[in-house]
Amino acid sequence: MNKQPKKKKKLVKVTRIKKNTDVQNIIPNRRLKNMLIVIIILFVLLMSRLFFLQVVDGEHLTNLAVNQQTTSEIISSKRGNIYDSTGVTLAKSETVDTISINPNKIVKKKPEDTKAYKELVAKGLSEIFKLDYNETLSKVNSTASVETIIKKVEEDKVNELKKWIKENKIGVGINIDEDTKRYYPLNTVASQVVGVCGSDNQGLSGIEYSYDSILKGVSGQITTSTDAANGEIPNSVESFVEAKDGYNLNLTIDVKIQSIVEKYLKKAAESNKCSRGGNCIIMDPSNGHILAMASYPYYNLNDPYTPTSYYADDWDKLSKEEKSKRIYSMWKVRSVSEMYEPGSVFKLITASTALEENITSTNKNGDFYCTGMQHVGDKDISCWSSHPHGSQTLTNALENSCNPALMQLGKRIGATTLYKYYNAFGFFDKTNVGLSGEEKGKFHKLEDVGPVELATMSFGQRFTITPLQMATALCAVVNGGYLIEPTIVKSMSNPDTGETINTETKYVRQVISSQTSNQMREIMQSVVINGTGKKAAVKGYSVGGKSGTSEPPVGNKEAGYVASFAAISPVENTKLVVLVTLYDPHGTSHQGGTVAGPVAGQILSEVLPYLGIEPDQK
C-alpha cells in the first residue's frame, strides 16, 4: 500500500485583542428613562415648593424675616403730674430704667458654651438686683423673644449693670430701657383721693385710676434693622414714633385745707375709738369744688401695700386673698364708695321739701307735737331724746332733731313728693365726680313705701347714700337751691403744648327756690345757736349746722352707729359746706352733735381764716 505523503499544516496567525478597561458599560435605555423621570419629578416638586414659599407663604415668611432682622425699642411716655389747687405737687414721675433680656440672643456656637453663658448671665443679674437665681435662669432659658428682669431700677444699679456687661464682654441680649417711677412727695396727704399706680405705671385707685388714660400719655417706638449679631445694618431705614407725655392735673383739693381736715379727723377717730374710722368732705357750694376729701385711716402712697391702723389687725393670719381685699379696702375713696344711713342730717332735705311745697313754715307755733314716741302703722317709733319735746315749730324740731316731728311732716308731704325731691337732689344718681367705685343711693321702691318706711325716711334712716351725695345736696340747700355737679379736677394741661383745659361748673338743675334756701340757712344757724349743734360754733363767725346719728342697719348691728355733722359758714353767702362722718364710735357718746359737731367747728376755725374770710360775728 502506497503511503500518501502527509499534507503540510497551514499556519494561521491569531491576533489577540486586548480588552480596554477604560471603556464603561453602555446604560440600557430603560434605566436611562427611569432616571430621567425621577429627575423630572424632583424638579417639579422643587418648583412647586419654591412657588409655595414665594407666592403662597411669601408674606408670612417676609414678616418672620423682618421680625428677625428688626429691633424695636419702646419709648415710655412720662406720666402726668398731679397738683393741688395751689400748685403743690401730689404725684410726679421720675426717670428710672427697666432691665429686660432677649433669651434667643444669649447664645454661643456650641450648646455646652451656651449653657455656661446663660448661667453666667443669670448669676450676674440675680446678684446685682438681688433676685432669685433660679427664677432669673428660667427667664434666661425662656423661648420668649423678650423677658422683663426688673422694673423701676435706680441709676446706681444701672451703672453697676453696665460695668458688669463691659467686664464680661456681653454684646447683645441685655436691654436697658428708660422708664418712669411714680413718687408722692406728701406721703399720706389725700392718699385715697390721689390713689396709686402699679408696676407698669397703670393707675390702681383714686385719681390715678379714674384719669389713667389722660395721665399716662402714649408710648413711642424706635424700630431699627439689625444683622445676626444685633448690629445695625448700614443705610437701613429707622422708624421713629415720638412718645406723647400724659396731661398734668390740677385738683380742686387745697393741700392746706386737706391737712387741717386730716389732722382733726384722725384725732376724732382715735379719741372716740371709731372702729371703722371716719370721713370728711369740704365743698364750695357756689361752684361744687371739693376743697378737701379725707378718710381715716390714711396710708402712705409710697408704700401702698403696707396696711395701717385697723387694716393691719391680725395681718399675719390672713390669706393672700384676704390681704388683697384689705389693701383695696384701705385704698378706696369712701366718700363715693361707702354707703351709709345719713340719719338726722337728712332732715334738712325733708324740711326743704316741705317749705318748697308750702306744706309748713319755719316758725308756725304748735305745728308739731312730740310725746317721745310716734305710733306709725303697727309700730311705735321713739324719739332719740328721753325727754318729750312737746309743741314745736319746724325750727324747733330741727334744733331738737326731733324724730316724731319729722315723721309727722313726712306724712304730710307723702312718698311721691318726697321721691320727686330725692331725685331732684341727686340721690338716685351718681354725682359724676369722676372717682372710681362711686355708688348711688339705695331706696325702697316707691310702690313698696308704707307708713313705716315713709316715717323712717323722713328722719334719714333705712336707706343708704354716699357722703358725697349728702354733701352735694347740702350745697343745693344753701347756695340758692341749685344742684351743682361736684368737681375734683380743676384743670388739665398738656406739658408739651401748654394747652390748658379748665373744668366748667355744671349746674344740673334748680331744686328749691332762693327763698327756701335762705330759710334753711337761718334754721341751720339756729341749730348751732340753740340746738344740738352748739359744739360746732366758731368764735367770730356765723355757723349753721345739723347733727346726725344713725342706728346700725337692720341685721348688721356690728356696723355700729354713725355719728355725723353738717356745717356751713358763713351763713350768708356761704363759702364752705363741711360734712363729718364718724363710723362706730365707742367713746363717751355716739351722738352726732357731741362727737362730730366739735370736729366741724375745729376744722372751720382754721380753714375760714386761711381762706381770708373775715369774721362776721362779735
* 3-state DSSP of 348-375: HHHHHHHHHCCCCCCCCCCCEEECCEEE
Amino acid at 274: C
Residue 13 has pLDDT above 80, yes or no: no
The residues that are catalytic are 344
What pLDDT was estimated at residue 359?
98
Please, how many CA atoms are within 13 Å of residue 96, restricted to the half-sphere of its CB?
A: 19
**Phi, psi at 465, each rounded to 5°:** -140, 180
* pLDDT tens digits for range 260-312: 999 999 999 999 999 999 999 999 999 999 999 999 999 999 999 999 999 99
148 and 267 assigned to the same domain:
no
d(CA 183, CA 209): 15
Amino acid at 66: V
Exposed / middle / buried, residue 151 (Cβ in 10 Å: 0-12, 13-18, 19+): middle
Higher pLDDT, 89 or 73: 89
What pLDDT was estimated at residue 29?
73
Residue 572 has pLDDT above 80, yes or no: yes
d(CA 293, CA 281): 5
What pLDDT was estimated at residue 152?
82
Q: Is residue 56 part of a domain?
A: no
Residue 28 has pLDDT above 80, yes or no: no
Q: Is residue 562 part of a domain?
A: yes
196 and 286 assigned to the same domain:
no
Q: Is residue 368 part of a domain?
A: yes
d(CA 485, CA 557): 34
Q: Is residue 32 part of a domain?
A: no
513 and 548 assigned to the same domain:
yes
Residue 333 has pLDDT above 90, yes or no: yes
Q: Is residue 277 part of a domain?
A: yes
Higher pLDDT, 363 or 242: 363
d(CA 264, CA 280): 10
User: What mean pLDDT comes out for the span 182-197?
Assistant: 97
205 and 149 assigned to the same domain:
yes
The total number of structural domains that make up the chain: 2
Domain boundary among 218, 251, 284: 251
CATH of the domain at 564: 3.40.710.10
What pLDDT was estimated at residue 15?
52
What pLDDT was estimated at residue 129?
93
- The angle subtended at Cα 183 by Cα 179 and Cα 185, nearest 5°, is 155
Q: Is residue 26 part of a domain?
A: no
Q: Which domain holds residue 343?
A: 258-298+336-491+501-610
User: What mean pLDDT comes out for the span 168-189?
Assistant: 89
Are 516 and 533 in contact by the 8 Å Cβ rule? The answer is no
CATH of the domain at 85: 3.90.1310.10
What pLDDT was estimated at residue 133?
94
439 and 460 assigned to the same domain:
yes
Residue 14 has pLDDT above 60, yes or no: no
Higher pLDDT, 358 or 154: 358
Task: Report the b/e string of 443-458 with b at 16+ CB within 10 A.
Answer: bbeeeebebebbbbbb
Q: Is residue 55 part of a domain?
A: no
What pLDDT was estimated at residue 127?
93
Amino acid at 110: K
116 and 264 assigned to the same domain:
no
Exposed / middle / buried, residue 387 (Cβ in 10 Å: 0-12, 13-18, 19+): exposed
Residue 411 has pLDDT above 80, yes or no: yes
341 and 272 assigned to the same domain:
yes
* pLDDT tens digits for range 50-87: 777 676 666 665 665 555 555 556 667 889 999 999 99
194 and 145 assigned to the same domain:
yes
Reported confidence tier of residue 229, pLDDT bands at 50, 70, 90 = very low
pTM given for the model: 0.81
The grid coordinates listed for 274 are: 371709731
Q: Rounding to the nearest 10 degrees, give the CA dihedral for residues 63, 68, 70, 72.
A: 100
List the single range of 135-149, 231-245, 365-379, 415-429 with lowest mean pLDDT: 231-245
User: What mean pLDDT comes out for the span 440-450?
Assistant: 97
Reported confidence tier of residue 1, pLDDT bands at 50, 70, 90 = very low
390 and 471 assigned to the same domain:
yes
177 and 294 assigned to the same domain:
no
User: What mean pLDDT comes out for the span 114-127?
Assistant: 93
| Mean pLDDT for all residues in the chain | 90
User: What mean pLDDT comes out for the span 141-151?
Assistant: 90
Residue 555 has pLDDT above 90, yes or no: no
**Percentage of residues of the chain with pLDDT beyond 90:** 74
One-character DSSP codes across 112-172: HHHHHHHHHHHHHHHHHTT--HHHHHHHHT-SSS-EEEEEEE-HHHHHHHHHHHHHTT--S
276 and 144 assigned to the same domain:
no
Task: Please give the distance of CA 228 from its chain centroid, rounded to a whole number.
Answer: 44
278 and 217 assigned to the same domain:
no
Q: Which residues pair with 413 in a beta bridge?
A: none
User: What mean pLDDT comes out for the span 328-343?
Assistant: 97
